């Protein structure tokens, strides 16, 4: 139990450390519906512990504040009413200081609870809670970058999430033979329910790139009027490009004929040898069409994972986010965690530089709507 308490405390500390470079004014900003204020994240991942562990399994626990469930519930309908997502940035109260006090109150209560030899059922939810908080740590980085990257002075957050350059001259094509492969999580380690159940698939042979698409290669797409040629795009993607006048990846800026990109270290000239990031599924698909290739399916990606250098960016696949055979939702609010989102979303595989340590695995199924690109996502091709 000592080891579990140490893991829990390390995760709680990491969430606050990711916010350390922020000014007080940064904590409550919500520049878009899909982004959440850092203050909200810090409170929500605290409410999760309160709602799903302490109030259920800790008999002596007293809820910190009766309004916080309404303020910081995210999408759990079974947990009651909540503030609508677009309105999270309107909450100047409670203050950041109040949220930090809330975090300490719940953290202390959780440590006390874990020292009392909780049941296997409770420990299972604790494990989910640790991974849930790690998910929000990555979302914190996305949202912090979006908050700062949409300010006119492009303020510096700091280092720690840089994407290293890769040599565009080292591209190789890894051949995978046709055959029957097993997909999905196996073994005793933690996984989310959407990684179950493990099943067999028949896969045709294919070749997958050993590296991701670089900024320099993507710049060829831009210079060739890739954003202006409807032949490369899904109809829905073409409507998205046209409606929003998309001309380049998110955070790219053309300044005096040179391309710059906002990173957490500031506004910088794009590194032509680094993998292109902040790409939507629409853009990833169009780029693949431009090259006469395609995106991997999530099965192809998982089959190839042990042969790939992955983990810098989440990688778009050409697979819709759907349940595996035998999938079933857990009863109650925790059953809303993944299952109800299995529509109108595409799967990304791998991990990113913003993914917390010990949170990545090759069976992990991330998912976003095809127009989303504020996440750390990029492109790997198949032919």
Query: Using an 8 Å Cβ cutoff, are 339 and 371 in contact?
Result: no
Query: Using an 8 Å Cβ cutoff, are 342 and 328 in contact?
Result: no
Contacts of 208 (CB under 8 A, 6+ apart): 173, 174, 176, 296, 300, 301, 304, 308, 380, 381, 382
Query: Using an 8 Å Cβ cutoff, are 347 and 320 in contact?
Result: yes
Query: Using an 8 Å Cβ cutoff, are 202 and 180 in contact?
Result: yes
> Domains of the chain by range and CATH?
2-149 (1.20.120), 168-378 (3.90.1580.10)
Torsion of CA 166, 172, 178, 179, to 10 degrees: -50
**What confidence score (pLDDT) does residue 331 get?**
85
Residue 137, both tokens: 């740590």
In angstroms, the Cα distances linking 216 to 98, 129, 350 are: 46, 40, 22
10-residue stretch averages of pLDDT, the chain, 383 residues long: 96 98 98 97 98 95 97 94 95 98 98 96 97 98 98 96 83 96 94 96 98 97 98 98 98 97 97 97 98 98 97 98 93 85 97 97 98 98 97
Token match 């929500």: residue? 44
**What confidence score (pLDDT) does residue 168 get?**
63
Distance CA 260, CA 269 (A): 4
**What confidence score (pLDDT) does residue 32 get?**
97
Query: Using an 8 Å Cβ cutoff, are 356 and 137 in contact?
Result: yes
């Amino acid at each position: 139990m000592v080891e579990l308490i140490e893991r829990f405390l390390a995760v709680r500390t990491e969430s606050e450390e990711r916010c350390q470079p922020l000014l007080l004014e940064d904590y409550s900003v919500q520049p878009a519906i899909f982004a959440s204020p850092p203050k909200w994240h810090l409170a929500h991942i605290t409410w999760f512990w309160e709602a799903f562990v302490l109030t259920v399994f800790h008999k002596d626990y007293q809820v910190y504040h009766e309004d916080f469930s309404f303020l910081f519930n995210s999408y759990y309908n079974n947990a009651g009413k909540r503030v609508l997502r677009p309105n999270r940035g309107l909450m100047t109260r409670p203050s950041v200081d109040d949220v930090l006090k809330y975090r300490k109150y719940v953290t202390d209560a959780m440590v006390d609870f874990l020292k009392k030899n909780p049941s296997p059922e409770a420990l299972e939810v604790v494990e989910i809670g640790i991974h849930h908080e790690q998910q929000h740590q990555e979302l914190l980085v996305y949202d912090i970058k979006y908050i700062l990257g949409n300010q006119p002075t492009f303020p510096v957050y700091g280092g720690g999430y840089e994407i290293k350059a890769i040599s565009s001259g080292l591209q190789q094509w890894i051949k995978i033979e046709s055959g029957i492969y097993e997909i999905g999580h196996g073994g005793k380690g933690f996984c989310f329910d959407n990684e179950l159940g493990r099943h067999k698939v028949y896969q045709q042979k294919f070749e997958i790139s050993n590296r991701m698409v670089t900024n320099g290669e993507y710049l060829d797409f831009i210079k060739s009027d890739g954003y202006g040629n409807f032949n490369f795009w899904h109809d829905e993607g073409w409507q998205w490009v046209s409606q929003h006048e998309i001309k380049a990846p998110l955070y790219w800026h053309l300044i005096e004929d040179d391309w710059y990109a906002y990173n957490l270290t500031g506004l910088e000239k794009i590194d032509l040898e680094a993998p292109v990031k902040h790409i939507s599924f629409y853009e990833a698909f169009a780029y693949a069409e431009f090259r006469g290739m395609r995106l991997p399916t999530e099965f192809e990606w998982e089959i190839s994972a042990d042969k790939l250098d992955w983990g810098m960016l989440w990688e778009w696949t050409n697979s819709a986010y759907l349940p595996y055979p035998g999938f079933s939702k857990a009863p109650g609010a925790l059953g809303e965690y993944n299952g109800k989102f299995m529509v109108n979303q595409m799967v990304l595989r791998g991990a990113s530089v913003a993914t917390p340590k010990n949170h990545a695995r090759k069976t992990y199924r991330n998912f976003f709507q095809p127009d989303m690109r504020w996440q750390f996502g990029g492109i790997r091709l198949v032919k």
